[in-house]
Amino acid sequence: MTSSHTVHFISLGCPKNRVDSEVMLGVARQAGYEHVGTPEDAEVIVINTCGFIGEAKKESIDTILEMAQHKDGGRCQRLVVAGCLSQRHPDELAAEIPEVDHFLGSSDMLRLKDILAGGAERMLVGNPAQWVVQASDPRALSTPGGSAYVKIAEGCNRTCSFCVIPDMRGKQRSRSEEDIVREVEQLAAGGVREINLISQDTVAWGRDLPSAGRTSLARLVEKVADVPGIKWVRVFYLYPETLGDDLIEVIAHHPRVVRYVDMPLQHAADGMLRRMRRGHGGDRLRRVVSKLRERVADLTFRTAFIVGHPGETDEEFEELCEFVRWAEFERVGVFKYSPEEGSRSAAMDALVPERKAESRHRKLMTLQRKIAHRKSTALVGRELEVLVEGSSDEHEYVLMGRHAGQAPDIDGQVYLSGGEARPGEMRRVLITQASHYDLVGELLDDDAPSPSPLPAARAKRVSLRVLQTDGRSSQSS
């Protein structure tokens, strides 16, 4: 054990939260704190919470209570709770969990510096619309291999009936193109090869910027993909409105933009889409899916659906199942409706019984699992480019990585055999076996010149404990 101050981080929820956690990791590092992998060795424990759905809130509270025990039986001197749950319920948490020393909201990441310096007040929950990450902010990467998330905007202007994200994160605030590209250049200089662009509503990026600084999402994606050293660019969370032909063209043809679309559709029946206040009907969804399939060869399409929303009839659920059969999505996340205080859905009648919602969830996942297995099996015998991430989580002597159709954390792995490879390398792999989610492949001899050693900055990555509780990881195909 070193003599420096020590800190342990837990990041709950979505990749957007992970970026915030990495910023706080950077703040802690600047303050002279060493990150440790176990809470028993930490003087400060920081939990970045999720408050998206009921399951996520329960996971956050359980984690807080678990970590609070280390104040009695470990080295922990300060317990810090940050993020969406703190933003939404600061007073309740403060009253019910006195073991927590400090609370930070969803936009207060940089104020961790004040806590670590000592003397900060307990409640540091500010206005959620006050901050969005910048290239100049400190950040310590935690993603494996040569991958990183880049958050291009914060907040959301949508009014979906089931969602309270605008309350927790504020209205949309887009970063400038210049600042985003600057951060990508910094990441590339540190060895990052894959950039994953994220925000709450990525297709709306830039609409809130002054007209003088406004540009298109397609141009932003191109400029990020053109940064030297970047090999893959992936775009997450596209809202299912009409996509511009320019963005589709970039996804379809730019050599460093992966042919992967993440577009949470939530449902397919007109009645349900109206209740959800999605602003469109099922016909638009079919047009968007068809257009993307026609224009983007070898597309991987990920989406997400809610079952059990108030008012969902048996006929509407069957319409959703038929839509999934028709679309044959490569990846689908399904989660049961969770009534969120303050949302429009929470005040609706015609509640769906829990048992029926669970049955619908199970049926839709069973349907999708068969589609996913068929899609995975079709890859056997193909040669794919794989980003090597490092040793397998299950066995240190087995390497793993991802092909372009597998997003970090949520889409499975390619387990590698037949040679050696380094994290961050892009290698050709012959796929030999397939399951519903994962693949097995053999590393092929690479006649290309060996890549230069990755920059020393790569050694600064930390192993961050990440628990995804927003229905995407544990319930995805």
- Is 76 part of any known ligand binding site? no
Residues whose CB falls within 8 Å of the CB of residue 366, separated by 6 or more in sequence, listed in order = none
- Is 321 part of any known ligand binding site? no
458, amino acid identity: R
- Check residue 71 and give left, alpha or beta (phi > 0: left; psi -120 to 50: alpha): alpha
**Torsions phi, psi of 148, nearest 5?**
-155, 150
Q: Buried b vs exposed e over 112-130: b needs ≥16 C-beta within 10 Å?
A: bebbbeeebeeebbeebbe
CA atoms of 99 and 72, how far apart (whole Å): 10
Per the CB < 8 A criterion, the answer to whether 19 and 446 are in contact is no
3-state secondary structure the chain: CCCCEEEEEEEECCHHHHHHHHHHHHHHHHCCEEECCCHHHCCEEEEEECCCCHHHHHHHHHHHHHHHCHHHHCCCCEEEEEEHHHHHCHHHHHHHCCCCCEEECCCCHHHHHHHHHCCCCCEECCCHHHCCCCCCCCCCCCCCCCEEEEECEECCCCCCCCCCHHHHHCCCEECCHHHHHHHHHHHHHCCCCEEEEECCCHHHCCCCCCHHHCCCHHHHHHHHHCCCCCCEEEECCCCCCCCCHHHHHHHHHCCCEEEEEECCCECCCHHHHHHCCCCCCHHHHHHHHHHHHHHCCCCEEEEEEEECCCCCCHHHHHHHHHHHHHHCCCEEEEEECCCCCCCCHHHCCCCCCHHHHHHHHHHHHHHHHHHHHHHHHCCCCCEEEEEEEEECCCCCCCEEEEECCCCCCCCCCEEEECCCCCCCCEEEEEEEEECCCCEEEEECCCCCCCCCCCCHHHHHCCCCEEECCCCCCCCEC
Cα Rg, the chain, nearest whole Å: 22
Planar angle of CA 69, 71, 74, nearest 5 degrees = 90
Binding site, annotated residues: 14, 50, 84, 156, 160, 163
Binding site, annotated residues for [4Fe-4S] cluster: 14, 50, 84, 156, 160, 163
